[in-house]
Structure 1
């Protein structure tokens, strides 16, 4: 079997001028890619490099350096961008690296060409034992804080790539966009080697430009925008990204037409999500693999798929489920772990439980051991985090849970009487020291210890995890929750979005009525008049003048259990008081009679919006008021400053006519973050639903107002109106 460099050389000979790598500012044809990689390989030979760490953001230089290592036999060790400094140091020392390669210039680095920089590392000794045929060492996120190095040969990576190419025969993929870090083995093999052997173009962009930060951070708007811009045929997704893109496709924010194959792996995916995605035009196909098998070992594809399964095994491996229901693999397993002698057994126990269907599809039913897998595909040992919690928080007991969630949570027993605020600070300090995928999203504090009598502990004091999991609703209901991120676990024990994110998601369709108002595009096209601006400000005055009275009415009606919300309203009132007078001053600067407007009446949409909110507060649930906050402050952040600047440029008005728009564009950034945290503290389902329902109504009515703004038909009409 030819190795990857030889196979890529054949592709370059077949179509040398076809684009192989596409970056933000440059591109390489297949011929240019091979020439550049060969030139870099020669540089590595001359420098005597044997083991190189490959670090940095996704870039063309990263791929070229990786290919150069393959060509020259340098052991390549990708350094995940999300590793903590201590994990990176462990990786460098464990692998005894000669140097670090990067697409970014660093202190003491030298340029090898084609954007690749090399920094020599001090000699640290012989390093850990490594199998002779090792070509790449991929460090997993580690089920503990110390990652393990999986040693792979070039032949093993080639075998996986060719097996994937065979499985995808008939799927025409010409453009693949890398949205996972290239240091992730799955993206490295299935997102770079595979498309290149298929003669496709690999599109690479900085992860932050695609909304990705760390191992788990996501700005969905930036990701969707980047995907829509690049129009790839294929993507590799972890479950968290699949969920986000399905929601975006359902809301018609994501253009699904270019997609031909979206692979999902790295964690459990619900059949319902896959079905929703396909209904929204996303060709989602679940697969399964692990680093120890050079990534993918099973994959669903068009024409050969089974709902609820991860597909049939690829042709280069044997896979079976033993009598203990463990999934075991043979045929393309790793050479060994860095520093550990390889095991004699040909079969590799994956650590997963599963079953095979009669027609050969693999079902994965969970972990055989206690390791949690986050929805971003990161492995976490609960025992590791529990020891960290006991040490950092002085907890008497700790149990970590959250398999399939973006981040883990923990139930802790603390009996020394510290306040929640003190513990919040301790939790923040602990999270700051952890890799981002292992940071705790929620802490549930108990004062009474878990006991053996209740079945929660073994005789030697270890947690009985299955019993604790089954009793989790009761245990959490009796605990005090502290949240450190936007995701949490509710008191019934079900995993779910924190309320703010749910509010955003469930009002997305209603929000489109505001952001899609004709006035937004009209301003961008230069079709906006002084009449339109004064009409908008007039309506703003008539609802803003009710903001403080509405807050006071809400505060007076809140039950005692929501005292923390009443306290927040006091702060809101101080911030909002008098803003309606700002609007009148803006109107006066536009030449309007502010007293006439003060005594006038609003548009019917605003009259109904204000009346609805008073009615909800007085007759139904006072929490409904925050539906208005969701709409108005969110809209201010998104539209106020950019539209204000365009309007001022179009109409030539003084700054004194924009105190409302400009202040709210900036001011509401802080308000909205305050609002986000407040919403995440509201846990009563009735209160939450009242806020969601009110937000939908206010989006509708506020959007009706925006749709009613009188707009000139064209610039000529606008100029005539201005004259």
Structure 2
């Protein structure tokens, strides 16, 4: 268990790192030609100090709140550390946020300055700036603002910055992160330096196989999660505090991400299940296109059986893989699993997954293929992970045990409660909302779950998302949706049925997967309007629904479904920035389609 920090703040990490090991590689960033260039601990410290001086020269003071609106890139981490160096509080904003969302967060947080990535973001701020009397500065990364700030601070004495840094205590607020808001207005979670230091240090210490590498093989991770999300910020901080080489990738799409994984060659990644699904589905499509889908599917079965046998041995319930299974596994490691690992850069042996549930079978496949995925669970209010699977005893299909120093309790109504030094202090300016979720240091998460006999947590749904049919049957939609999505052609699924006679679903398809599926059948590409009426596609989706229904009672099963022409998107207000479904918004937008399911 990581000790609770007694003094200092997050910025000390950078200065201590540079003092102890100035020539060690701390980060890497792309140059103008797209090549990765290493940044030493000393060089990064100098950049942070120079930018901190510029912030002071531009009027940023201790306790000021400064918003960061950008994709995941090197400069975000640079600004984060510079702001913490002067005792300011960063307010992350998703780069896809609307003008009204931006207005609410900047006004609620009384933000004094904003750093944006490019002109589009600047125009979004500009459209509401007349309603933000506290906003004094607007900086734009792509307008070379880092150089401008560094030049402005050239005359500021180093000691002025260090006085600010030494005034930061663990209890100081480091950041105000707004919840993604599936319902209602987002609330600002006030997270302290102590919250982040405890969380990051606990993860690095307990999950040392992830954050440490073998001698001579430098530990490295490529951060592609949004830094506006608490999971991404935890990765940023844990990498610096754990002395792990950190790179940034601004695009979460597989097309942009996969080449950078190959070029950067991380030793571990932290991701959401979507990334692992994409890697798996791309590998299977490639095998199918090459006429090798049979061997690939056999390799999947072998990987799953191998990982299950290893899991049973870890829990004292079996001897481990048989000699025959080991031989099959060894064969497929050379012809299949190695290629899956190479798609992630070739060095990845560990990964952590969070944000939503991962199918047990998918986790077992990656474990059998040589990439151990440790699934965890947490919220913004718990500074990322509250639970995670321990490396030596991973139970796939669960989100693991409480992280050291934390406790999980299941309330009488099934709600998950969490207690620990990673639990946030309060919501900004909202004591009523704070009092509704914090009870004597315990956080009522709003999630429903169960603990097994070994203390492993399984999340079963959200309290607010429970559907109640007109017949009085309560249904948690999450598990059903996850099982339907397991089909390679399905992109998204939303289960409906509140106050209706039975459960139904709206389904969207993965366009890339469908194009491949059509090609393998020797069929021409089809327009979306044609696809939704295609009987063969309907049959494939029906298979997914039938498979999902096998896990629930008849009253909880999906009776009918409809395939939609377009995926739910954040741009249309149907997904949160962390890709969660906005249920009410979707049901409103597709009210006619939902009604048609009950005619």
Compute the TM-score of the two structures, normalised by the length of structure 2.
Answer: 0.61
Q: Using the TM superposition, give the Cα deviation of residue 355 of structure 1 relative to its aligned residue in structure 2, in angstroms.
A: 2.3
Cα deviation 1:499-538 (Å, max 9, x = unaligned): 8555445579x6xxxxxxxxxxxxxxxxxxxxxxxxxxxx
Higher relative contact order structure (alpha carbons within 8 Å, sequence separation ≥ 6): 2
Q: Using the TM superposition, give the Cα deviation of residue 361 of structure 1 relative to its aligned residue in structure 2, in angstroms.
A: 2.1
Within 5 A, what are the aligned runs for 1:70-109? 70-104=84-118, 109=139
CA RMSD in angstroms comes to 3.6
Q: What is the aligned counterpart of 2:230 among 185, 198, 206? A: 185
Q: Using the TM superposition, give the Cα deviation of residue 135 of structure 1 relative to its aligned residue in structure 2, in angstroms.
A: 1.9
Cα distance in structure 2, aligned partners of 1:405 and 1:83: 26
Q: What is the aligned counterpart of 2:250 among 198, 203, 206? A: 206
Greater than 6 Å deviation, 4+ residue runs = 115-118, 399-404, 439-444, 686-689
* Contact persistence 1:36–1:114 (CA under 8 A): no
Q: Using the TM superposition, give the Cα deviation of residue 145 of structure 1 relative to its aligned residue in structure 2, in angstroms.
A: 5.1
Q: Using the TM superposition, give the Cα deviation of residue 114 of structure 1 relative to its aligned residue in structure 2, in angstroms.
A: 5.1
Correspondence for 2:146 = 113
Correspondence for 1:317 = 406
Correspondence for 2:55 = 44
How many residues were matched structurally? 411
Cα deviation 1:253-290 (Å, max 9, x = unaligned): 65353112211111121111211222344322101111
Q: Please state if 1:157 is matched with 2:186.
A: no
Q: What is the aligned counterpart of 1:355 among 450, 473, 483? A: 450
Cα distance in structure 2, aligned partners of 1:84 and 1:78: 14
Q: Please state if 1:329 is matched with 2:373.
A: no
SS at match of 2:347: coil
Within 5 A, what are the aligned runs for 1:316-715? 316-332=405-421, 333-341=423-431, 342-343=434-435, 345-370=440-465, 463-464=498-499, 471-473=502-504, 488-489=506-507, 498=509, 501-504=512-515, 506=517, 627-630=521-524, 672=525, 674-684=526-536
Cα distance in structure 1, aligned partners of 2:148 and 2:40: 16
Cα distance in structure 2, aligned partners of 1:202 and 1:115: 25
Correspondence for 1:5 = 11
Cα distance in structure 1, aligned partners of 2:177 and 2:85: 18
Instruction: Provide closer, same or farther for how the CA distance between residues 228 and 249 of structure 1 changes in structure 2, counting only shifts above 3 A.
Output: farther
Instruction: Provide closer, same or farther for how the CA distance between residues 227 and 87 of structure 1 changes in structure 2, counting only shifts above 3 A.
Output: same
SS at match of 2:224: coil
Q: Using the TM superposition, give the Cα deviation of residue 246 of structure 1 relative to its aligned residue in structure 2, in angstroms.
A: 2.2
Correspondence for 1:228 = 262
* Contact persistence 2:66–2:114 (CA under 8 A): yes
Instruction: Provide closer, same or farther for how the CA distance between residues 270 and 676 of structure 1 changes in structure 2, counting only shifts above 3 A.
Output: same
Q: Is the radius of gyration larger for structure 1 or structure 2? A: 1
Instruction: Provide closer, same or farther for how the CA distance between residues 280 and 400 of structure 1 changes in structure 2, counting only shifts above 3 A.
Output: closer
Cα distance in structure 2, aligned partners of 1:359 and 1:114: 54
Q: Using the TM superposition, give the Cα deviation of residue 319 of structure 1 relative to its aligned residue in structure 2, in angstroms.
A: 1.9
Correspondence for 1:22 = 28
Correspondence for 1:34 = 45
SS at match of 2:522: helix
Correspondence for 1:453 = none
Cα distance in structure 1, aligned partners of 2:426 and 2:53: 29
Cα distance in structure 2, aligned partners of 1:63 and 1:161: 15
Cα distance in structure 2, aligned partners of 1:681 and 1:241: 29
Cα distance in structure 2, aligned partners of 1:188 and 1:61: 13
5+ residue gaps, structure 1: 119-130, 213-217, 373-381, 383-398, 410-438, 445-455, 457-462, 477-487, 490-496, 511-626, 631-671, 690-723
Instruction: Provide closer, same or farther for how the CA distance between residues 317 and 117 of structure 1 changes in structure 2, counting only shifts above 3 A.
Output: farther
SS at match of 1:628: coil
Greater helix share, 1 or 2?
A: 1
Compute the TM-score of the two structures, normalised by the length of structure 1.
Answer: 0.51
Cα deviation 1:655-693 (Å, max 9, x = unaligned): xxxxxxxxxxxxxxxxx5x5454234314568769xxxx
SS at match of 1:21: strand
Q: What is the aligned counterpart of 2:350 among 251, 257, 261? A: 261
Correspondence for 1:277 = 366
* Contact persistence 2:223–2:249 (CA under 8 A): yes
Within 5 A, what are the aligned runs for 1:164-179? 164-171=203-210, 172-173=212-213, 174-179=219-224
